[in-house]
Amino acid sequence: MIMDLEAQIQLLIDNAPHDGITPQLVAAIAPALGAIAQKLRYPQYYILQNSKSEWVLTTLSNREQPKLQKRVIYAFPTLQDVSLSSSAGLDPQVVATAIPVIHILFQLVALEPVNSIVFFETPGTTTNAIEVLRSDLQNLIQQKLQKHRPQRQVPPDIA
């Protein structure tokens, strides 16, 4: 079932721990997630997961500087496109799971070892991709949270 972005955001808020603050924080960062999701072509993507339901990381090395590496997660537009990945199909423990795009972006914030998620935008090819950097997403979220934080009024007679 493919949901629109608003429904995905609402599901994320509804599934947040009801601790009095998390749903408000999720709602506060939702515009940042939505802004990035709107630049992507699909409402859901397929992510490779291992037998423990952990997302499969791919380590990429810079051709000129092999020591320069980054860890990415690939997000595929269709199940058929998963076979374009060299790691797909080789390991029977790895499965492709359809995940709503808002949830992928939300997870990216917390995925410590991951530098970015590469969203493949054209079925049948890996040439047209949008890379979403975790640092960019975190900065965008920080900006949203700054606006969300209540402003403390300093009493005029504080001296």
Question: What is the predicted pLDDT for the residue at 138?
Answer: 93
Quick check: is 156 in a domain? no
CA distance to 119, 148, 149, per residue, from 19 (Å): 33, 17, 17
Position 12 in a domain: yes
Decide if pLDDT at 159 tops 70.
Answer: no
pLDDT of residue 86: 60
- Mean residue pLDDT of the chain comes to 87
In a domain, 103, yes or no: yes
Residue 131 in domain: yes
pLDDT at 11 over 80: yes
Residue 34 is assigned to a structural domain of this protein: yes
**Separation CA 67–CA 64 (nearest Å):** 9
Is 153 within the bounds of a domain? no
Within-domain flag for 101? yes
Measured from the Cβ of residue 57, the count of other Cβ atoms closer than 10 Å reads: 16
Q: 77 by DSSP, 3-state: which?
A: coil
Domain span holding position 54: 5-148
**Residue 153 pLDDT > 60:** no
CATH code (residue 113): 3.40.1350.90
Span 67-78, mean pLDDT? 93
Could you give the number of structural domains in the chain?
1
Q: How many Å apart are CA 97 and CA 75, to the nearest integer? A: 10
